[in-house]
Amino acid sequence: MPEDDKRIQTGVRGVDELIGGGLFEDTLTLVTGTTGTGKTIFSTQFIYEGAKKGEPGVYVSFEEPPENIKAHALKFGWDFSKLEKEGKVVFVRYDPYHIEDVYELIESNIKKVGAKRVVIDSISALGLYVRDVPELRRMIFNISLLLRKLKCTSILISEILPLQKSLSRFGVEEFVTDGVIVLYYLRSDSQYSRSLTVWKMRGTEHSQKLHPYKIDKGGVVVYPKEEAFVKM
């Protein structure tokens, strides 16, 4: 991917600096980590910041009800109600029993708001309904093709189980996506601390360090000039 391709700023403070200015347009990035690391907050922030500056967004949730996601977002000052009324954002809740409908669901909602940004939260929830891992890999690949065709810059969320060594729930998500951002919640002495690394970002230089981040009243904030020292 050439360096002069357009970058889409994530809007998550400190992240764009780690990846050369933002995500490449029309790419799919995996945001992965154990439960409670802030994947949903990170991704909500990505949708909110985009919609505010004229890049509509679709948030597809396979687990947490959108009402909860929006209520939590409000605590960070991200009020989605106006953006929804203006047709700049749509939250979609989907019970993944009929996985064959998922492409149609994604496509129709993207077209509804003319989305430039999409979040899928999470592939782990969806994956539980897929027959086997090769089928899931094919499915993620097809979703990535669809999102690219519709010219969306997208985040795919995956969970890592505690003590799991791979980067994602099923061990295939990281191969199909263009970039991987890993959120850690690790012990250092008597407390746990948050840190993040850019594991891969196709087509660009990126930080190879582990950076501390916080979740505060403005959402996720990463410290790109600081390094985290934690036991893996």
Ligand X SMILES: Nc1ncnc2c1ncn2[C@@H]1O[C@H](COP(=O)(O)OP(=O)(O)OP(=O)(O)O)[C@@H](O)[C@H]1O
The site for ligand X, by CB under 6 A, has a size of: 13
Kindly tell me which of 31 and 146 has the beta carbon lying closer to Mg ion.
31
Rounded CA gap, 197 and 177, in Å?
A: 16
DSSP symbols for the chain? --TTSPEE---SBTTGGGGTSSEETT-EEEEEESTTSSHHHHHHHHHHHHHHTT--EEEEESSS-HHHHHHHHHHTT--HHHHHHTTSEEEEE--TTSGGGHHHHHHHHHHHHT-SEEEEE-HHHHHTTSSSHHHHHHHHHHHHHHHHHTT-EEEEEEE--TT--SSSSSS-HHHHSSEEEEEEEEEETTEEEEEEEEEEETTS----S-EEEEEETTEEEE-TT-------
Nearest approach, Cβ of residue 85 and Mg ion (Å): 25
37 binds, among ligand X, Mg ion, none (CB under 5 to 8 A by kind): ligand X
The residues, any chain, with a CB within 8 Å of residue 25's CB and separated by 6 or more, are 5, 6, 7, 8, 151, 153
Kindly tell me which of 40 and 144 has the beta carbon lying closer to ligand X.
40
Binding mask 136-175 for ligand X (x = CB under 6 A): -----------------------x----------------
Kindly tell me which of 2 and 162 has the beta carbon lying closer to ligand X.
162
| Segment 35 to 54, residues that bind Mg ion, using CB under 5 A | 40
Kindly tell me which of 72 and 93 has the beta carbon lying closer to ligand X.
72
Nearest approach, Cβ of residue 228 and ligand X (Å): 17
List 65, 67, 74, 75, residue binding ligand X (CB under 6 A): 75
150 binds, among Mg ion, ligand X, none (CB under 5 to 8 A by kind): none
Nearest approach, Cβ of residue 81 and ligand X (Å): 18
Residue nearest to ligand X (CB): 40
Give the range of 38-46, 48-56, 126-134, 142-150 binding ligand X by CB under 6 A.
Answer: 38-46
41 touching ligand X, by CB under 6 A: yes
Backbone angles phi, psi at 199, to 5 degrees: -75, -40
Kindly tell me which of 103 and 199 has the beta carbon lying closer to ligand X.
199
Rule CB under 5 A: which residues touch Mg ion? 40
